[in-house]
Amino acid sequence: MILQEKIKILDELITIRERLRKENRKVVFTNGVFDILHRGHVEYLHKAKTYGDVLILGLNSDNSVRIVKGPGRPLITQENRAVVLAGLASVDYVCIFDEETPLRIIQKLLPDVLVKGSDYGLGDIIGREVVESAGGKVLTIPLTPGLSTKDVIAKVKKLIKEGIIVV
């Protein structure tokens, strides 16, 4: 499959979701920024896929990342992040969303399983009520300790400050 074929707009995913429902295939949904893809992201997405047959990833657009993370982010454009994520075996579809949260996508797709990292409490997961009221499950996945985009950025800044990396 060509990587761009895994990147869908919401209307396309709604049609795909209807087909998957008829085929009794379990859909898992997660979302995030995924700026500077690292091992923690890959392990998280691999684990998320184990909860169903198809993993749909909602990806924050560049605009929504700036709202959520502040100026200077993302470091990697939405198009580049989407293609890299589409290249992972565990990710079946990527959908870029421009809102601050993925609630609209979750409401439209009604995934069977909604997952987030364990840095979220179940009560803090956007879309939890929607998924549970439709009979779905909401789960958290333990994160790989010491691996986060924030940690990577801090390390690079430290190396620049120490003169080890020159920009």
Residue 69 Cα distances to 29, 92, 104, 144, angstroms = 21, 26, 20, 21
Q: What is the number of helices (H) and of strands (E) in the chain? A: 7, 5
Q: Which CATH class is domain 3-161?
A: alpha beta
Q: Residue 1's pLDDT is what?
A: 56
Single pTM value for the model: 0.90
Q: Which residues pair with 3 in a beta bridge?
A: none
Distance CA 84, CA 87 (A): 5
Which of 53, 37, 30 lies closest to 88 in space, CA to CA? 37
Categorize the per-residue pLDDT at 144 as very low, low, confident or very high, splitting at 50, 70 and 90: confident
Q: Can you point out the beta strands (E) in 40-98? A: 54-60, 93-97
Q: Residue 166's pLDDT is what?
A: 73
Mind listing the pLDDT tens digit for each residue in 99-111?
999 999 999 999 9
Domain boundaries, the chain: 3-161
